[in-house]
Amino acid sequence: MKYKLVNEKITEDYGRNLLRTRGIENIDLFLHPDPTCLQSWEDLDNISKSAVMILDKIKEDKQWAIIADCDTDGACSFAIIYQYLKRLNPEKEIKFFIHTGKQHGFSDMMDNLMDTDWGLIIAPDSATNDGQYIEQFNCPVLILDHHLKEESSKIPLNMFFVNNQESQFYKNKDLCGAGVTWQFCRALDYYSQNDWAKDYIDLCALAEIGDMMSVLNYENQYLIQTGLHNIKNTMFKVLLDKQDYSMGGKINPTTIAFYIVPLINAMIRVGSQEEKERLYRAFVEPNVMVDCHKRGAKGTKERLCVESARECTNAKAKQDREKEKIVESLEMKIFKQDLLENQILFVPLDDDDDFPPELNGLCSMVLTSKYHKPTIIARENSDGFFRGSARAMSNTELTSFKKYLESTGLFEYTLGHDQAFGISIENSNLEKLYGVSNEELSKIDFGENIYDVNFIVGANDRNLSFLIADLSQYEDYCGQQNPEPQICVTNILISSNEVSVIGKNKDTIRIEKNGITYIKFHAKELIQSLQEYDKMNLTIIGRPNLNDWLGHLTPQLLITDMEIEDARFSF
């Protein structure tokens, strides 16, 4: 187990000084964000004329259309603008469309849209680069987006384009699609003399977390903190209630990212079209009574939000089952074709691999974790391009798989995050990729994680409990680009009788030393390793936490990884 200190050594005021090393200058404002953190909506290009256009047309008889994008940000963006428009005119007929897969924007929607004389079409969280489709409509098309515009993309005359990336004076480029949509509602507030946008800030918070936007931005921190402290959306509340036990009663960016966003994404990936439509409707019409599809409840009715939340849970379970089945079949292909011979595990899909592309990323992550190789799962299209998903472990010397692939010059595109993104590469470039990567990546040991830690402390250090207690105060402010702190504790000398195996399934380890509890769940392999020694010297990397049991607070470390050394002669 390797680790490295990624910031300067911090010896006091641990949490605040860690934030400073991560670029936060005004600590108090970051921890207590207020409306001054919000940038003016007026700094978004075209927003005023777009808001005025909406208000001018809201009383017209023609129905409107909304293209809802296919992820958490898209669902929230849709819900924000839909609800606001229906408050402006409850009688307005607004039809929404959702994609059958992971498509975005207009490309797969033209057949649905072209046969109707729309008064307006809205695409929140998408369609920045869809000018060639938009110009085919005879009505205005409003784009509320945060994706980068390609140089070749046109902006036709009927396109009302609001995008923070393309707005010179809007500083926050980490605002998600729902954030842009929410700012648009603030503009509508101004011109209609209402105060409604604040009622949808909870959905903005959910989308910021779901789309992995940086929480180090003051504006994003305000949106997230304010939104999570003012949850009004009924569907959001029902999902939280359903996951309350797993979340330990905590509502913060980390628990939302681990327990709420995956339910929504699972439904979008593997749910039926009818189930997906119920999900989107549940965010805007939660209390409508619908047929209950629960086993044994045929002929009964249930609130849409409750029915959809149950279906989301089922979709997550179905996704996990499908993922296991797919990975098993892909592993047969991997060994049959000797794909592990290369430094990059590239798995080409064929007709026998009959599963939706929405699962490519999840399966890539499983394979890269199991085989300790950066992994690509892709399918060749009719134009000779392999398109799919790429994943790599975050704790290795390859800090950005995306940037590495870009540097080869062999890819049509790599779009997404450093270690999780989509790719496109021409078939003729595959052998070149193998040649280059087999040479350049051979020096990297992907089998051994290198952990970025923020503190290195000896087990007998008297300040360890204070360090854990101080850092635990900041858990609600962690998230993308501000990860939970990692503490490395060295020289933990214990005997085997100091290791407790607990839990219903006897798969949780608990170690107590010097008033600190070290704990890890689902740790069967680690339990076996600990049973090999009578006396051990442990090095543990983990996340700080305060365990509250009947009002008694105990500092503990949630174990990320552990190194075990035989310590028979160290006592």
pLDDT of 570: 61
Q: How many CA atoms, within 13 angstroms, populate the side-chain half-sphere of residue 170?
A: 25
Return the structure tokens found at 42. Answer: 């007026």
pLDDT band at 571; cut points 50, 70, 90: low
**How many whole angstroms separate alpha carbon 391 and alpha carbon 374?**
6
Total H helices, total E strands in the chain: 19, 21
Is pLDDT of 311 > 70? yes
pLDDT band at 569 (very low <50, low <70, confident <90, very high): low
- The more confidently predicted of residues 90 and 505 is 90
- Answer whether 511's CB lies under 8 Å from 500's CB: yes
SS (H, E, C) 412-449: EEEEECCCEEEEEEEHHHHHHHHHHHHHHCCCCCCCCC
Measure the CA–CA gap between 487 and 390, rounded to whole angstroms: 29
Query: Do 539 and 492 touch, CB atoms closer than 8 A?
Result: yes
User: Distance (Å, rounded) from C-alpha 69 to C-alpha 102?
Assistant: 8
8 A C-beta contact, residue 290 and residue 242: no
Give me the sign of the Cα torsion angle 462, 464, 469, 474: positive
Torsion (CA) 146, 147, 151, 155 in degrees, nearest 10:
-60
| DSSP-assigned beta bridge partners for residue 415 | 422
**What per-residue confidence (pLDDT) applies to 117?**
95
Sign of CA dihedral 108, 110, 116, 121: positive
Contact 378, 386 (CB under 8 A): yes
d(CA 278, CA 285): 9
> Under the phi-then-psi rule, with left for phi > 0, alpha for psi from -120 to 50, and beta for the rest, what region is 214?
beta
For 443-495, write each residue's pLDDT tens digit: 888 876 788 999 999 999 999 999 999 999 999 999 999 999 999 999 999 99
CA distances from 526 to 429, 442, 477, 561 (A): 42, 29, 31, 9
Of the candidates 178, 215, 177, 216, the one whose C-alpha atom is nearest the C-alpha of residue 200 is: 178
Over residues 363-385, the mean pLDDT reads 94
pTM of the model: 0.90
The rounded Cα 88 to chain-centroid distance in angstroms is 32
Question: What is the Cβ-side half-sphere exposure of residue 258, based on CA atoms within 13 angstroms?
Answer: 13
531, pLDDT greater than 90: no
Q: Is 46 helix (H, G, I), strand (E, B) or coil?
A: coil
pLDDT for 251: 96
Closest by CA to 420, choosing from 357, 468, 472, 365, is 365
What are the pLDDT digits (tens) for 36-57? 999 999 999 999 999 999 999 9
Both tokens assigned to 398:
């390859």
Residue 46: left if φ>0, alpha if ψ -120 to 50, beta else—which one?
A: left
Q: What are phi and psi of 538, to 5 degrees?
A: -105, 145
**In the structure, what pLDDT confidence band is assigned to residue 90 with cuts at 50, 70 and 90?**
very high
pLDDT in tens, 173-197: 999 999 999 999 999 999 999 999 9
